[in-house]
Structure 1
Amino acid sequence: MEIVQLLPRLYMLSFPVGHAYLWADPAGLTLIDTGVPGSAPLIAGAIDGLGFRRSDLRHLLLTHFHEDHVGSAAEIAGWGDVVVHAHRADAPVIRGETAGPPPRLAEWERLLHERVRAEMPTEPVDPVRVDRELEDGDLVDLGSGVPAVTIAVPGHTPGSVAFHLPEQRLLFTGDTIARTPDGEVVLGVFNVDPVAAVASFERQARLDVEIACFGHGEPLAVHAATRLRAVAETLAR
Structure 2
Amino acid sequence: MKLIQRTENLYELSMGMIKAFLIDNGRDLVLIDTGIKGKAEAILRAIDKAALDSSRLKHILITHLHSDHTGSLHDLKEKTSALVYAHNLEANAIEEGKILRDCVPAPSLMSQISVPLILKMNKDKRIMGTTVDVRLSDGDFLAIGGGIRVVFSPGHTIGHVSFLLQKEQNILITGDAAWGGKKPGYPLLFEDLNLGIQTLKMLGNMNISMALFSHGKGIPKEASPQFRERFSRFQQ
TM-score (structure 1 length as normaliser): 0.89
Determine the structure 2 residue equivalent to 1:176: 177
Question: 1:4, 1:234 → 2: CA distance?
Answer: 35
Determine the structure 1 residue equivalent to 2:204: 205
Greater mean alpha carbon deviation, residues 63-72 or residues 209-218: 209-218
1:131-150 superposed matches below 5 A: 131-143=133-145, 146-150=146-150
Q: Secondary structure at the match of 1:7?
A: coil
Determine the structure 2 residue equivalent to 1:166: 166
Q: 1:37–1:72: 8 Å Cα contact kept in structure 2?
A: yes
Greater mean alpha carbon deviation, residues 226-235 or residues 169-178: 226-235
Greater mean alpha carbon deviation, residues 107-116 or residues 123-132: 107-116
Question: Relative to 1, partners in 2 of residues 1:8 and 1:158: Cα closer, same or farther, differing over 3 Å?
Answer: same
Question: 1:216, 1:99 → 2: CA distance?
Answer: 17
Question: 2:29, 2:234 → 1: CA distance?
Answer: 36
Question: 2:226, 2:58 → 1: CA distance?
Answer: 32
Question: 2:42, 2:152 → 1: CA distance?
Answer: 29
RMSD over equivalenced CA pairs, Å: 2.4
Greater mean alpha carbon deviation, residues 100-109 or residues 81-90: 100-109
Name the % identity.
28
Greater mean alpha carbon deviation, residues 74-83 or residues 16-25: 74-83
Residue identity in the other structure for 1:15: M
Shift, 1:60, TM fit: 0.4
Question: 1:33, 1:99 → 2: CA distance?
Answer: 14
Determine the structure 1 residue equivalent to 2:105: 105
Q: 1:47–1:54: 8 Å Cα contact kept in structure 2?
A: yes
Question: 1:216, 1:7 → 2: CA distance?
Answer: 19
Residue identity in the other structure for 2:62: L
Shift, 1:148, TM fit: 0.7
Question: 1:225, 1:106 → 2: CA distance?
Answer: 21
Determine the structure 2 residue equivalent to 1:15: 15
Residue identity in the other structure for 1:69: H
Determine the structure 2 residue equivalent to 1:4: 4
1:83-102 superposed matches below 5 A: 83-96=83-96, 100-102=100-102
Question: 2:121, 2:46 → 1: CA distance?
Answer: 23
1:19-38 superposed matches below 5 A: 19-38=19-38
Question: Relative to 1, partners in 2 of residues 1:133 and 1:232: Cα closer, same or farther, differing over 3 Å?
Answer: same
Q: 1:17–1:68: 8 Å Cα contact kept in structure 2?
A: no
List gaps (5 residues or longer) in structure 1: none
Question: Relative to 1, partners in 2 of residues 1:99 and 1:47: Cα closer, same or farther, differing over 3 Å?
Answer: closer
Question: 2:121, 2:184 → 1: CA distance?
Answer: 22
TM-score (structure 2 length as normaliser): 0.89
Q: 1:17–1:36: 8 Å Cα contact kept in structure 2?
A: no
Determine the structure 2 residue equivalent to 1:67: 67
Question: 1:102, 1:39 → 2: CA distance?
Answer: 26
Residue correspondences, number: 231
